[in-house]
Amino acid sequence: MSVFTLSVTDADLDPNGPPFSYDIIAGLNNDFYVDGTGVIRSAASRHLKDEYHLTVRVFDNGTPALYSDVDVTVLVVERSNAPPVITPLSTTVTVSGDDVFPGGIIGRVSASDSDATDHLVFAIVNDEDRRLFDIDAVNGTLRAVQDLDVGDYTVNVSVTDGQFTRYADARLSVEGVSEDATESAVVVRLDSLTPEEFVGHHMMSFVLELQTQLHVRNSAIKVSPSSSFVHCYLQH
């Protein structure tokens, strides 16, 4: 099994440059070897350590041969055994009247993986969706990068652990509110809380608390976070 290929350059012309020859001069314990093309390969069917430190010496074809040394760290990561689990996202943003949503954080696509060493990477699948939306590859935060008209949007999102890939839809509804609701809107300032944190972790509980205190249906409350403020609308 190949680990990676060394990249070697030499300012000398033939015959004093390539072909190069390689040797592991430190860290050699029969777990790895380097072939004549500069590819470091695994020589063991199973590795007992998670990390190996090698020193590779590269010789040119000159007479006498000159050489350079390079230190190489090999990390052994267990192959993924289970696919990631991705949770669909569904959210609503509210704009006044016929205004557009000016872009910004929509929410966070959540995913988990039972393999502790796996690193998950998020991406938007369709090129058309990437014109309007962007997703943080590391934490799954979804953002609108252009103005969005009132309407419904569906973004197909993927998450991969390097071996398995799973998909889910992120659904966004941009809703307009009436002029009456706009005039009676309540503006709440977010103190020490970013819009990303509010949308991702607090917005649902915030709406449920308003519903309880005002004795109205959940669908009657429209919340639109922007900058460091939250605009709350009550539709009759």
**Looking at the structure, do residues 111 and 71 belong to the same domain, yes or no?**
no
| Residue 171 resides in a domain | yes
Please check whether residue 41 lies inside any domain of the structure: yes
Indicate whether 80 belongs to any domain. Answer: no
Q: Give me the CATH number covering residue 112.
A: 2.60.40.60
Is 90 exceeded by the pLDDT of residue 104? no
Domain-terminating residue out of 20, 42, 75: 75
Residue 128: inside a domain, yes or no? Answer: yes
Q: Which of 32, 57, 75 finishes a domain?
A: 75
Residues 150 and 67 in one domain: no
Same domain, 195 and 230: yes
Q: What is the 3-state secondary structure of the chain?
A: CEEEECCCCCCCCCCCCCCCEEEEEECCCCCEEECCCCEEEECCCCCCCCEEEEEEEEECCCCCCCEEEEEEEEECCCCCCCCCEEECEEEEEEEECCCCECCEEEEECEEECCCCCCCCEEEECCHHHHCCEEECCCCCEEEECCCECCEEEEEEEEEECCCCEEEEEEEEEEEEECHHHHHCCEEEECCCCCHHHHHHHHHHHHHHHHHHHHCCCHHHEEEEEECCEEEEEECC
Write down the pTM of the prediction.
Answer: 0.56
Domain check: are 31 and 118 in the same one? Answer: no
Lowest mean pLDDT among 1-15, 115-129, 146-160, 215-229: 215-229
**Residue 123 pLDDT grade (very low, low, confident, very high; cuts 50, 70, 90):** very high
Residue 109 lies in a domain: yes
Mean pLDDT of 32-43: 85
Residue-number span of the structural domain to which 112 is assigned: 85-234
pLDDT in tens, 42-81: 877 666 677 888 899 999 888 888 899 988 888 777 677 7
